[in-house]
């Protein structure tokens, strides 16, 4: 087998509203496996995010500064079209529980139909992060709960500033 000069590019899409330690775990584990990992923040007109697209990108850039091969970007439209523009070979998706798998499988199969040249790679969430979701973090902090250890400290501070009634 001959070595290829082609670099391996992966895209990790998500809303990242906000970025959690579960997201960071996947990024830390995937980055060494590829030449370039694009963390792509989805601009979704059907959702009402807590943080603007620009804020979510800035939060990710703030916590991912130590990775030479990780780029943060934003996109809208079809993920596979974005992946093609970025020269992606892989789409990274995280699986926390069996309940995630059914939805992710449907998306992976549709993406394969639309762009057979781009593979989907599933990574299991680390055990310590398998219950964390951005939605759950927002609910917990909104009810006055402690989210330290679930999100980076800088993100926790932004959450406390954004959600009323936080100390």
Q: What is the pLDDT of residues 44-62, one digit of tens each?
A: 777 789 999 999 999 999 9
Tell me the average pLDDT across 13-26: 96
Catalytic: 162?
no
Q: Residue 140 domain-assigned?
A: no
Catalytic residue among 93, 134, 138, 158, which? 134
Q: Residue 36 domain-assigned?
A: yes
pLDDT of 5 over the 70 cut: no
Q: Please tell me whether residue 22 adopts helix, strand or coil conformation.
A: helix
Q: Residue 105 domain-assigned?
A: yes
pLDDT at 47: 77
pLDDT at 66: 87
Q: Residue 155 domain-assigned?
A: no
Structural element, H or E, at residue 95 = strand 90-95
Q: Residue 163 domain-assigned?
A: no
- The number of domains in the chain is 1
Q: Residue 63 domain-assigned?
A: yes
How far is residue 92's CA from residue 89's CA, in Å, rounded to a whole number?
Answer: 10
Q: Which domain holds residue 62?
A: 9-130
Query: Which stretch of 38-42, 51-55, 126-130, 153-157 has the lowest confidence by average pLDDT?
Result: 126-130
pLDDT tens digits, one per residue of 25-35 = 999 999 999 99
Q: pTM to 2 decimals?
A: 0.92
How far is residue 8's CA from residue 161's CA, in Å, rounded to a whole number?
Answer: 39
Calculate what percentage of the chain has a pLDDT beyond 90: 81
Q: Residue 137 domain-assigned?
A: no
Name residue, tokens 């932004």: 158
Catalytic: 113?
no
Catalytic: 96?
yes
pLDDT tens digits, one per residue of 89-126 = 999 999 988 888 999 999 999 999 999 999 999 999 88
Catalytic residue among 96, 133, 154, 162, which? 96
Catalytic: 138?
no
Catalytic residue among 7, 47, 85, 160, which? 47
How far is residue 127's CA from residue 110's CA, in Å, rounded to a whole number?
Answer: 28
Extract the tokens encoding 150: 């679930």
CATH label of the domain that carries residue 47: 3.40.50.620
Phi-psi domain of 25 (left: phi exceeds 0; alpha: psi -120 through 50; beta: other): alpha
Query: Who has greater pLDDT, 165 or 81?
Result: 81
Q: Residue 161 domain-assigned?
A: no
Tell me the average pLDDT across 72-100: 95
Catalytic residue among 15, 23, 138, 158, which? 23
Omega into 18 within 30° of 0, i.e. cis? yes
């Amino acid at each position: 087998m001959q070595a290829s000069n082609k670099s391996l590019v992966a895209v990790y899409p998500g809303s990242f509203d906000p970025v959690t330690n579960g997201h960071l775990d996947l990024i830390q584990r995937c980055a060494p496996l590829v030449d370039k990992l694009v963390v792509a923040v989805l601009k979704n007109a059907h959702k009402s995010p807590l943080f603007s697209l620009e804020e979510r990108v800035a939060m990710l850039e703030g916590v991912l500064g130590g990775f030479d091969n990780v780029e943060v970007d934003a996109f809208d439209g079809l993920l596979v079209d974005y992946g093609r523009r970025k020269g992606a070979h892989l789409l990274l998706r995280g699986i926390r529980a069996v309940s995630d798998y059914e939805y992710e499988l449907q998306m992976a199969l549709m993406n394969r139909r639309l762009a057979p040249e781009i593979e989907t790679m599933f990574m299991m969430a680390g055990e310590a992060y398998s219950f964390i979701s951005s939605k759950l973090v927002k609910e917990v902090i909104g009810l006055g709960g402690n989210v330290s250890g679930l999100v980076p400290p800088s993100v926790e501070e932004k959450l406390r500033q954004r959600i009323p009634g936080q100390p």
